[in-house]
Structure 1
Amino acid sequence: MADKMNTEPEGDQNIDESLYSRQLYVLGHEAMRRMANSNVLIVGMKGLGVEIAKNIALAGVKAMAIYDPAPVEISDLSAQFFLRKEDVGKARAEASQPRLAELNTYVPVSVHTENPFENLSSLSKYQVVVLTETSLDDQIKVNEFCRQNKIYFISADIRGLFGNIFCDFGEGFTVMDATGENPVSGIISNIDEDGLVTALDETRHGLEDGDHVVFSEIEGMDKLNDATPRRVEVKGPYTFSIGSVEGLGKYVKGGLFQQVKMPKTINFRSLADQLKKPEFLIADFAKWDRPGQLHVGFQALSKFAANHDGKLPRPMNEQDAKEFMSYAEEVTKTVEEGGPEEVDEKLLTELSFQAQGYLSPMAAFFGGLTAQEVLKALSGKFHPLVQFMYFDSLESLPTSTKRSEDTCKPTGSRYDAQIAVFGTEFQDKIQNIKEFLVGAGAIGCEMLKNWAMMGLATGPNGSIHVTDMDSIERSNLNRQFLFRAPDVGKLKSDCAAAAVAVMNPDLKGKITTMRDRVGEDTEEIFNEDFWEVLDGVTNALDNVEARVYVDRRCVFFRKPLLESGTLGTKGNTQVVLPNLSESYSSSQDPPEKSFAMCTVKSFPNRIEHTIAWGREVFDASFVNPAQSVNLYLSQPNFIESTLKQSGNQKEILETIRDYLATDKPLTFEECIEWGRMKFEKLFNNDIQQLLHVFPKDSVTSTGTPFWSGPKRAPDPLVFDIKNPEHQDFIVAAANLHAFNYGLKGSTDLNLYYKVLDSMMIPDFKPQSGVKIQANDSDPDPNANSGFADQDELKNIADSLPTPATLAGYRLTPAEFEKDDDTNFHIAFITAASNLRALNYGIAVADRHKTKLIAGKIIPAIATTTALVTGLVCLELYKLIDGKNQLEDYRNGFINLALPFFGFSEPIASPKGKYNDTEVDKLWDRFDFDHNLTLQELIGEFEKKGLDITMLSYGNALLYASFFPPAKLKDRYPMKMTQLVEAVSKKPVPPGRRNMIFEICADDKDGEDVEVPFVCVKTKDA
């Protein structure tokens, strides 16, 4: 037996969980292990190639090689963020390799030196080959070699606002988990003789046709337990069929079902075959006919390049476009199925015009998508793309500026590849934008990178403000690619701004970094002057509260807002358009699912319940008591104020007594004893007491067994010093208790054996008269148990050591921190949760899953983030252009696991009407440019045919029609600022120039109507 406890995190020891933690929650350990044994080659190191390489390096493969001997051109800097001006003339791969190698110390990056198109055998050492910037003939040649040698093949390219990807993972490719969703499970109430399964208490089962399930704990049809997975046919939200149950007996009671992920086999066809008979993934159903057209168009581009020494059609060049169209007509004849009946001349001419263009947002979109397909090929996790996908964002083309061959020709600028698409006039607009980025984490880093490549705000009138109050942590490095290991502990906003200024020196002096949270408490910093000069706002936030606040400010100042978010392989984007669309706050996500208190406290049936319980025990043992003790020692009137509280005065005072006297340890050995007694109480005594109140054979008032359905009868645990799970709890509990008191902890199990062997544990006898709530619908029998007799409370208070005798003494609360594997926080919650699970016969969870649930971690992966920010920046082009029609914009939802893409127009803002006037309920308001009196304000609305019935400012009711005349007499002549200060008892902040009032009003017919809010200047304009 080891002398030291193993404090290493669970899982594969080759996987650095502190670095990959958020990604592990997306991919899982098995997928990560497969990736860590794989070599990847990426051909082509322009913007798309480097984006793919960046995402794969962050994801963590065994090794990556890159190939691109072509010399760097100045136009490459429009999208290739790891190239610099001084690299012009160097080989792209050689210049990119050192910067790619910095991304992840676990992923060596090398330069593939042999020409893979001349020496195909050099590809044999790779598991995946990705081609970009490659002729179609070479793609076909490499694809055939890869198929013969069981190498996964992907090709991708972008041309201006157009792009495509092709995947071929060979014959018999196995997908182990097509969706990545957590398997659903549930409790059974019945299985009839036809195999129809009914979920308990009409709980939605969440299954779909074709899913498979296994069963356990069924009484009656015992042969179903742990049998081969059964295929499901859904009959309704609460029922599903599993087919014949003949010969299995009659269902009696109980049972659980658990979804099982079944492997799926896909047979891919070669590129040569797919060119003739393509299979398309439709990215945008509003453009259902585009894939066939672009399938022809991209082949025509390859033909054009083959006849022009690799050169693509010149920007906006009619002659080249005409030649290109002739090739498109030829290609159409070779496509046997899935191609267009006739070519769309307007669409394909635009493809020709933009062919030399290269845009960072398109590289981000296809770079995220392609890298995710690489990870799917290596891991078998998630459904691969079958087999072609074409995507365009032609809506991003400007209409406010003119494009011509002259305005789109090269200028010798780093932005030439973007100018080739948009022209110089629109490039000037991009460079003189004033944008506010809220957040510099994963999305913020990607956004700043894209902006740097676009040249956003680099002009004389341009500026970027970026704020983020967080510092860099090690787990950030896996997906926030602007940061490196030496940056850990530094401010995100500072490091991100410095990194992109290196990528594009034109940004030096153009980015203002801040570390302030954007909220009501910082309105003096983010004041009217700050907001009014902005052209737009981009959110890169990870919480709803901050998003809602920024959204409200954008509505008030009528600023466009770009909103986005990710969750594992899922991502969404939203455009908020002043005077046109609804805002972020106009709709709400469903509330976060919570567990019934009664279930968590006494009747858990899922591991999520025991993890929630373990988290509560952590706070109740190592956080709340220390805080209460410190308040008692530092606040002279703490006892007096506690006695005036309702409900838990006795508990608070007893806790202080225990932590200052009864349980106060002087040595670490006493902490071990405390942990052992904690084990006995939580996992033995409390369970005995519960079974005393509700014996295993007890029945309800209706005669049904009490311990049935979702209620699982528990069993007490008998402590075993040799049991690793028991050890884990004692070690974590002892060390955390020692931390509270400033004592040095230990993980030496010999010390624990010595202390625990000598301990005497008193026998426990359940108490009669103890009441336990049986259901959440029942009243809590202990709801008033905290109201103790005042004499009893005073006796407890008098028994406490006085603060004067403990001057300067303080406990240290163990403030919960999920990402520190040495602090025993997750270790304790994992151990407590699993022991509780063993009490109730629930399958235990590892540290990894416990950390996800207890820490409320948002799973994240770099591929999704890159793709989502690419979509956001495509919408930013439209905002810069000033497009003012909803149909010009796209909100997006994507799920790379499936893969699925959904786009829709933003929803229009809600409209209303008062009298004969139509109003926009969200964006319209009544503006007054001077600090008028209450009487004047009421009069202004009377002119509009509106009778104000109530007027409020925040929580202060300033006017109501039912107020007595005497009260109103004093208020009518008061200026609005005076009235607000008089009623609210608070001064209007000196820097505030606008006050927002909410009103209720009746129209001229006396009907209550919804009207916009009122904005009054604090000073005369």
Structure 2
Amino acid sequence: MDVDEAQIDEGLYSRQLYLPYTEGFAAMKRMAVSNVLIVGVKGLGVEIAKNIVLAGVKSVTVYDPEPIKVQDLGTQFFLREEDIGRPRGEVAVRRLAELNAYVPVKNLPGQPGQEISVDLVKGFQVVVLTDVPLKKQLEINDWTHQNDVPFIAADTRGLFGSVFNDFGPKFTCVDSTGEQALSGMIVSVSEDEEGLVTCLDETRHGLENGDFVTFTEVKGMEALNGCEPRKVTVKGPYTFTIGSTIGLGQYASGGIFNQVKMPKVLSFKSLRESLKSPEFFISDFAKFDRPATLHVGFQALSAFQTKHGRLPAPRSTTDADEVLSFAKNLTSEELNEDVLKELAYQATGDLSPLNAVIGGFVAQEVLKACSAKFHPMVQYLYFDSLESLPTNLPSEEETAPVGSRYDGQIAVFGKSFQAKIANHRQFLVGAGAIGCEMLKNWSMMGLGTGPEGSIQVTDLDTIEKSNLNRQFLFRPKDLGRFKAETAAGAVAAMNPDLVGKITTRQEPVGPDTES
């Protein structure tokens, strides 16, 4: 069903209706007329789709006609062993649709090997590409950029992630911060070209350059009361200027400034242009130079894949050297060769926790595109978690695929690591939104699935309606049931290796329950 103003379910969306981020009903209404296309529903794509469906847009359509492989089961939590061989998109749609009855989830049909095309993306308000070759990304983005359709491309390769945003040459952001408008008392306004406003002693105004304000209750310079919003230039924590006040009279006393949220028009570069002159969103200032290296590295990976029809093999020095050669041909700048080789070594890696991080980030960007709320990321995000690697790196033999659901993880950490976490014993307190995500990730990783492994979960709460739009292991049929036992059953269905390995409790953690 379509979601219009009258149909917004306050019981389901209560936690996001009253957040400044969503601007309440106004943002929800903008989201409720947005049709989103997600291309590729492996581990990363399904994370993005899951988050968007839960948040509540008009519709989500997925495109992925490729047949399911056993390796997909290691990160795509809506696939089952009996689904192997069937089209990924067709299978994912049914389980995605269970997340939110108000959001239709559709499958865009296609044949195995059939890539997405411009004709197929027409009619959508946001287009998201995952695991799509760079050449095809450029083709699709050329059209979306010309037609002002927000476009996002994302990939994960082992412990590395990449996101690119292009919301078009003229994207209007109605509220770039999502915070409540500021206000404060003033004690003087100068009558001159600068128009210096001074606030009450020891009361910081909190404004930034480029903000806009208007005034009320000013005496002596009454022309400022209800004036058109004036642009602010910050001079100090207690002072700012608003432009010429000549001829407005002599300030006498009183007055309150009120910040006015003004729409901000953002101009994004196309993917083709951004490849040559990228703008990086820095997520870790300890790795300030890393994005430039990874920008070249992901292009080099794409060149390798185009040439060979595959990604570099895990820990293959021959393949890594070729990727490095491609990278050096792309730029004359100095590159971090160790990082580039690690990217090549991990290219076939597919990790559920990394997909959750990048998938959550991309889903937020989709909601920004739909709601025009909050400033979008500009324009490239490159992320890595190389700190997660062990001191002694695995060998090529140790990371070779074995034909199991865990091959994507083995490609990064090796078979010994997989055996170690399988026999790990884990205790989780709380099966709410974060608890559900943790259990899902552990399930995909195979944590606690070995002969000596186990997972224990405790949570006193039962499931209520407002939980359903962010605690994704629960369904309407579960209302009133205990969270711990319901979540445990859901993740055991995702990975049958966990059957009999999860113990649930409804007890608090404290001195009274120590044993």
TM bucket (normalised to shorter chain) is over 0.9
1:184 partner amino acid: L
The answer to whether residue 216 in structure 2 is matched with residue 216 in structure 1 is: yes
- 2:101 aligned with 1:108: no
**1:186 lines up with 2:184 in the alignment:** yes
Aligned position for 2:268: 268
Aligned pair 1:170/2:168, yes or no? Answer: yes
Q: Is the 8 A contact 2:65 2:110 kept in 1?
A: no
Give the residue type in structure 2 aligned to 1:385: M
Residue 134 of structure 1 aligns to which amino acid in structure 2?
V
Aligned mates of 1:342, 1:236 — CA distance in 2: 40
Question: Are residue 15 (structure 1) and residue 8 (structure 2) matched?
Answer: yes
Give 1 or 2 for the bigger CA radius of gyration: 1
Aligned residue among 28, 33, 47 for 1:37: 33
Which residue pairs with 1:443 in the alignment?
Answer: 434
Match of 2:371 among 349, 371, 379: 379
Alpha-carbon distance, 1:243 to partner: 2.8
- Name structure 1 gaps, 5 residues minimum: 1-10, 334-340, 528-1021
Which residue of structure 1 aligns with residue 386 of structure 2?
A: 394
3-state SS of the aligned residue for 2:164? strand
Indicate whether 1:366 and 2:358 are aligned: yes
Query: 1:317 Cα deviation (Å)?
Result: 1.3
- Would you say how many aligned residue pairs link Structure 1 and Structure 2? 505
- Equivalent position to 1:81, from 77, 85, 95: 77
Structure 2 residue 417 is the aligned partner of structure 1 residue 426: yes
Secondary structure at 1:154's aligned position in 2? strand
Q: Distance in 1 between matches of 2:157 and 2:116?
A: 26
- Measured in 2, the distance between the counterparts of 1:63 and 1:517 equals 40
Label 1:255 to 1:525 Cα distance change in 2 as closer, same or farther (>3 A). Answer: same
Shift of residue 402 of structure 1? 4.8
Local SS of the residue matching 1:129 = strand
2:449 maps to 458
Which residue of structure 1 lines up, in the alignment, with residue 336 of structure 2? 344
- CA deviations 1:582-606 (Å, max 9, x no partner) are xxxxxxxxxxxxxxxxxxxxxxxxx
The residue type paired with residue 127 of structure 2 is V
Please list the CA deviations of residues 736-770 of structure 1 after superposition, one character each: whole Å capped at 9, or x if unmatched: xxxxxxxxxxxxxxxxxxxxxxxxxxxxxxxxxxx
The answer for the alignment partner of 1:953 in structure 2 is none
Report the AA paired with residue 11 of structure 2.
S
CA–CA separation in structure 2 for the residues paired with 1:281 and 1:152: 18
Q: How many angstroms apart in 1 are the aligned matches of 2:90 and 2:368?
A: 28
CA distance in 2, matches of 1:153, 1:280: 17
Q: What is the rounded CA distance, in whole Å, between the counterparts of 1:165 and 1:363 in structure 2?
A: 12
- In the aligned structure 2, how far is the partner of 1:168 from the partner of 1:513? 45
Name the CA distance, whole Å, in 2 between partners of 1:432 and 1:402: 21
Q: Residues 822-971 of structure 1: matches in 2 within 5 Å?
A: none
Partner of 1:817 in structure 2?
none
Paired position in structure 2 for 1:199: 199
Q: CA deviation at 1:188?
A: 2.8
1:89-168 to structure 2, matched below 5 A, reads 89-114=85-110, 117=115, 119-168=117-166
Q: Alpha-carbon deviations, 1:803-852, whole Å to 9, x = none?
A: xxxxxxxxxxxxxxxxxxxxxxxxxxxxxxxxxxxxxxxxxxxxxxxxxx
1:514 counterpart = 2:514: no
3-state DSSP of counterpart to 1:292:
helix
Q: Does 1:473 align with 2:470?
A: no
2: CA distance, partners of 1:178 / 1:245: 28
Q: Residues 97 and 192 (structure 1 numbering): CA distance in 2 closer, same or farther, change over 3 Å?
A: same
Whole-angstrom distance in 1 between the partners of 2:117 and 2:461:
49
Corresponding residue number in structure 2 for 1:613: none
Helix, strand or coil at the partner of 2:16: helix
Q: The residue matched to 1:218 in structure 2 has which SS?
A: coil
State the TM-score, normalized to the length of structure 1. Answer: 0.48
Q: Once the 2 structures are TM-superposed, how far is the Cα of residue 274 of structure 1 from its aligned partner? A: 1.1
1:51–1:367: 8 Å Cα contact kept in structure 2?
A: yes
The answer on 1:67 being equivalent to 2:66 is no
Using the alignment, how far apart are the partners of 2:351 and 2:80 within structure 1?
17
Q: Distance in 2 between matches of 1:233 and 1:273?
A: 32
Q: Which amino acid aligns with 1:364?
A: A
- How far the C-alpha of 1:189 sits from its partner, in A, is 3.3
Equivalent position of 1:300 in the other structure = 300
Q: Partners of 1:277 and 1:188 in 2: how far apart?
A: 44
Three-state SS of the structure 1 residue aligned to 2:144 is: helix
Inter-partner Cα distance in structure 2 for 1:129 and 1:454: 29
Counterpart residue type for residue 512 of structure 2: E
Shift of residue 424, structure 1, vs aligned partner: 0.6
Structure 1 residue 127, shift from structure 2 partner: 0.8
Tell me whether 108-117 or 57-66 shows the greater mean CA deviation. 108-117
Q: Deviations over 1:107-139 (max 9, x none)?
A: 101111257846422211101111111111101
CA contact (8 A) 1:117 1:142 kept: no
Over the aligned positions, Cα root-mean-square deviation in angstroms equals 1.7
One-letter identity of the residue aligned with 1:524: D
Q: 2-side partners of 1:118 and 1:489: how far apart?
A: 43
**Structure 1 residues 220-229 or 126-135, which shifts more?**
220-229
Q: 1:118 to 1:190 in 2, by over 3 A?
A: closer
- Equivalent residue of 1:52, what SS? helix
Distance, in Å, in 2 between the alignment partners of 1:126 and 1:485 is: 29
CA distance in 2 between counterparts of 1:269 and 1:200 reads 43
Q: Distance in 2 between matches of 1:234 and 1:145?
A: 40
Equivalent-residue separation in structure 2 for 1:187 and 1:222 (angstroms): 15
Structure 2 letter corresponding to 1:231 = K
Q: Contact 1:45–1:96 at 8 Å: present in 2 too?
A: yes
For 1:424 and 1:186, the matched residues in 2 are separated by 61
Contact 1:398 1:426 in 2 (8 A): no
The residue aligned with 1:279 is 279
What is the Cα deviation at residue 463 of structure 1? 2.0
SS at match of 1:464: strand
Q: Is the 8 A contact 1:43 1:131 kept in 2?
A: yes
Aligned residue number for residue 474 of structure 2: 483
Name the SS for the 2:6 alignment partner. Answer: coil
Residues 351 and 518 of structure 1: is their aligned pair in 2 closer, same or farther, counting only changes over 3 Å?
Answer: same
Higher relative contact order by CA 8 Å / sep ≥ 6: 1 or 2? 2
Could you tell me how far apart the structure 2 residues matched to 1:526 and 1:199 are? 55
Decide whether the 8 Å contact of 1:19 with 1:478 is kept in 2: yes
Q: Once the 2 structures are TM-superposed, how far is the Cα of residue 421 of structure 1 from its aligned partner?
A: 0.4
**Could you give the per-residue CA deviations for residues 970-999 of structure 1, whole angstroms, max 9, x where no partner exists?**
xxxxxxxxxxxxxxxxxxxxxxxxxxxxxx
Q: Is this contact kept in 2: 1:65–1:111, CA < 8 A?
A: yes
| Worse-superposed segment, 284-293 or 198-207 | 198-207
What is the CA–CA distance in structure 1 between the aligned matches of 2:59 and 2:180, rounded to whole Å? 30
Post-superposition Cα deviations, 1:861-881, rounded to whole Å, max 9, x if no partner, equal xxxxxxxxxxxxxxxxxxxxx
Taking a change above 3 Å as real, the CA distance of residues 98 and 121 of structure 1, as seen in their structure-2 partners, is same
**Does the 8 Å contact 1:442/1:481 carry over to 2?**
yes
SS in 1 for 2:240: strand
Q: Deviations over 1:668-711 (max 9, x none)?
A: xxxxxxxxxxxxxxxxxxxxxxxxxxxxxxxxxxxxxxxxxxxx
Contact 1:402 1:425 in 2 (8 A): no
TM-superposed CA distance for 1:330, in Å, is 2.2
For residue 364 of structure 2, give the secondary structure of its aligned residue in structure 1: helix
Q: Give the AA of the match of 2:249.
A: G
Deviations 1:54-78 (A, max 9, x none): 0110111111110111111111112
Are 1:524 and 2:512 counterparts? yes
State, as a whole percentage, how many aligned pairs show the same letter. Answer: 60
Q: Which amino acid aligns with 1:347?
A: V
Is residue 332 of structure 1 aligned with residue 321 of structure 2?
no
CA contact (8 A) 1:449 1:500 kept: yes
Q: TM-score, normalised by structure 2?
A: 0.94
Contact kept? 2:117, 2:140, Cα under 8 Å: no
Query: What is the one-letter code of the residue matched to 2:8?
Result: I
CA distance in 2: counterparts of 1:236 and 1:118, whole angstroms: 53
Residue identity matched to 1:276: K
The whole-number CA distance in structure 2 between the counterparts of 1:407 and 1:389 is 31
CA distance in 2, matches of 1:478, 1:33: 17
